[in-house]
Structures are given as structure tokens and as C-alpha cells.
Amino acid sequence: MHWRNIIRRPVITEKSNIQASDHNQYTFVVSDKASKPQIKAAIETAWNVGVDKVRVANMPAKRARRWRRMTIRRPAWRKAIVTLVEGDTIDLFEGV
């Protein structure tokens, strides 16, 4: 797979910003079929950085009920937390 098919988007939350600044860890939404070595290769080719460790979590689908009969379902997704080699950083808001 091409690296753009593996990496969907970065997760920008308060917790992910703290992890990026303190622990050099970045969080991404990735493809459901991507493995850890594929995610590592995709991050390395996209940003030219060294990846130390990749952790993956499958986030479950969520259902919420609105009104009486209407239910809303958010699909399941896969999250990858990538730890970079010491000294490397990723600038997610380049040019903003």
C-alpha cells in the first residue's frame, strides 16, 4: 500500500499535543488493514524521520440514541501512536 492509504490523518487533541511535546509521540488515524511495519515505513517515508516504536489500538464503534427511534453510529477506527527517535520531530502544521 502507498503511505497515503495507510495514514489517514493526525489526531489533534490536548492529550496528543502533550505526548508530542513531552514524550516525542505522535498519534494518527490509520487504515484498518495496516500492520505495524507498514505504519512505521509510511511515517518514515512521509516525514523523513526515524521511528522507534509503534503502538496500535482499535477504537470501537459508538452508538448514540437521539429522540425515540433515531440512532447514530460512529464507525470503528484504528489509532497508531508513533514514538520517534530522539531528536526527530514532525511539524504537523507546516506553513500555517
Q: Which domains does the chain possess? A: 3-84 (3.30.70.330)
* CA-wise closest residue to 84 among 56, 45, 53, 59: 53
Task: Specify the residue for cell string 497508531.
Answer: 80
Element (H, E) at 58: strand 51-59
Percent of the chain with pLDDT over 70: 97
- Percentage with pLDDT > 90 across the chain: 72
pLDDT of residue 96: 55
pLDDT for the residue 64: 80
Alpha-carbon span 78 to 56, nearest angstrom: 7
Q: Are residues 67 and 81 in contact, defined by beta-carbon separation less than 8 angstroms?
A: no
Segment 33-71, tens digit of pLDDT: 999 999 999 999 999 999 999 999 999 998 887 777 778
Confidence band, pLDDT 50/70/90 cuts, at residue 72? confident
